[in-house]
Structure 1
Amino acid sequence: MSDTPKTTFNRVLLKISGEALMGDQGFGLHPPTVERIAREVKSVHDMGVEICMVIGGGNIFRGLQGSAQGMERTTADYMGMLATVMNALAMQSALEGIGVFCRVISAIRMDEVAEPYIRRRAVRHLEKKRVCIFAAGTGNPYFTTDTAATLRASEMACEAIFKGTKVDGIYDKDPVQHADAKRYDRVSYDDVLAKRLKVMDASAIALARDNNLPIIVFSLDEPGGFRSILDGSGTYTTVHA
């Protein structure tokens, strides 16, 4: 395999959870894990692919959990949005440390630390081969980062959403707890909704379906997993029409 294999994708969005940045810790950021994921992103960026990213905030604060503990839901969701900005800044630092130019773009204005979201400006960053990390969700409570990822991928004209998880695709049940779990190679949006497969929340799946935006679910824990899909050798599940 050459150093720069051909890929059928020109522009993609990578969605990862905040928990993916924890490593073996139970909370917060694990710098070696952040750096490892940054290297995965760089390996795809080096192929010439334009990359957007959306990172959750569950490793720092999750709005739904805060709401369940008696906090007012809107306040809890805004706190979760701010957590995603912290994760985005950590990823920006890691990427720039290995020579990848990137921009953190926030749906909530905080000009001292991130750019405000302006679609045309973000597209221009991608055209200049900068990684765009979209933070603060959609800027609205009651919407998850899954929905934000699907929205931004649609606005940026991405060709697919890559959802990095702890397993190598979508299963009919939890493969960690069930040895007989069946992995799907391909599954439709409607089946994901009907079978309540835990890929993304229903709003995100519906938005992806309406925009015919495929979702590729793969293992972010597998070294080289992101790149291997784009060069045609990886294991994953595709959610499609």
Structure 2
Amino acid sequence: MAAADPKYRRVLLKLSGEALAGNQGYGIDPEVIAGIAAEIKEVIDLGIQVALVIGGGNIFRGVAAASKGMDRASADYMGMLATVMNSLALQDAMERAGVVTRVLSAIEMREVAEPYIRRRAMRHLEKGRVVIFGAGTGNPYFTTDTAASLRAMEINAEIILKATKVDGIYSADPNQDKDAVKFSTLTYLDVLKKGLQVMDATATSLCMDNDLPIMVFNLTVRGNIKRAIMGENIGTIVKGG
């Protein structure tokens, strides 16, 4: 029997910085990052075009620092630099796994990453390279969720795959509320009205305005990135009504 065809051909994978820290809670766990690289290689071998946006919360959280009195813009710039560190770490893991990878940074730092140029990013994807977008949008006051939404639309991705530690979106925190109900699908308006912590409101609104679906799934289950791309029902999909 022939293998099923992938449902998506060009995707943007959004990883939290915390995902790279593994159980240590801070910094970068080499085993975790090698595991993510191996999973992405499986997907690339299917001919899927993959771009990534990574948060920086395992190193520095701008919002948290600002809440303690630091200037918000300065704190956000530091957070953007943390995402570049994560991007370089993942690039190293990907290339050790045999996947050609490019980091494109919204803040120019030519010695370590290419400057973000939309057409260059598209060309890398067409050549089968993984593209990692670093430094968020390059602007303070915007989250990496918003960066993921923006970059996904710029490269004409078919879906945002938001990798988390839970297997979808629930009515409440399933770790704290045993009656929490998992949603299989939601509309963008559901997410905004219910204040569900999927992506921030700016990112969700951007996706809604451009009809870009979001799939929330559990990254900690081996093989889930591939399952998501094949179209298996492993998480929650947010889309238009």
Q: TM-score range by the shorter chain?
A: over 0.9
Q: CA deviation at 1:26?
A: 2.1
Q: Percent identity?
A: 57
Q: CA deviation at 1:235?
A: 1.0
Give 5+ residue unaligned stretches, structure 1. Answer: none
Whole-Å separation in 2 of the counterparts to 1:46 and 1:237:
25
8 Å Cα contact 1:225/1:234 also seen in 2: no
Superposed CA RMSD: 1.1
TM-score, scaled relative to structure 1: 0.97
| Other-structure match for 2:198 | 199
Whole-Å separation in 2 of the counterparts to 1:233 and 1:71:
44
Following TM superposition, the consecutive aligned residue runs of length 4 or more in structure 1 with deviations greater than 4 angstroms are none
Q: CA deviation at 1:208?
A: 0.3
Secondary structure of the 2:22 match is coil
Q: CA deviation at 1:234?
A: 4.4
Q: Deviations over 1:134-177 (max 9, x none)?
A: 00000000000000000000000000000000011100000111
Q: How does 1:75-86 map to 2 (within 5 A)?
A: 75-86=74-85
| Other-structure match for 2:60 | 61
Whole-Å separation in 2 of the counterparts to 1:215 and 1:178:
24
Whole-Å separation in 2 of the counterparts to 1:185 and 1:41:
24
Q: Deviations over 1:33-63 (max 9, x none)?
A: 1111111111111111100000000000000
Q: CA deviation at 1:5?
A: 4.1
Q: CA deviation at 1:210?
A: 0.5
Give 5+ residue unaligned stretches, structure 2. Answer: none
8 Å Cα contact 1:6/1:47 also seen in 2: no
TM-score, scaled relative to structure 2: 0.97
Secondary structure of the 2:237 match is strand
Whole-Å separation in 2 of the counterparts to 1:192 and 1:18:
23
Letter matched to residue 96 of structure 1: E
Whole-Å separation in 2 of the counterparts to 1:227 and 1:128:
20
Q: How does 1:69-108 map to 2 (within 5 A)?
A: 69-108=68-107
Letter matched to residue 51 of structure 2: C
Q: CA deviation at 1:231?
A: 2.4
Asked whether 1:186 is paired with 2:176, we answer no
| Other-structure match for 1:230 | 229
8 Å Cα contact 2:8/2:230 also seen in 1: no
Secondary structure of the 1:194 match is helix
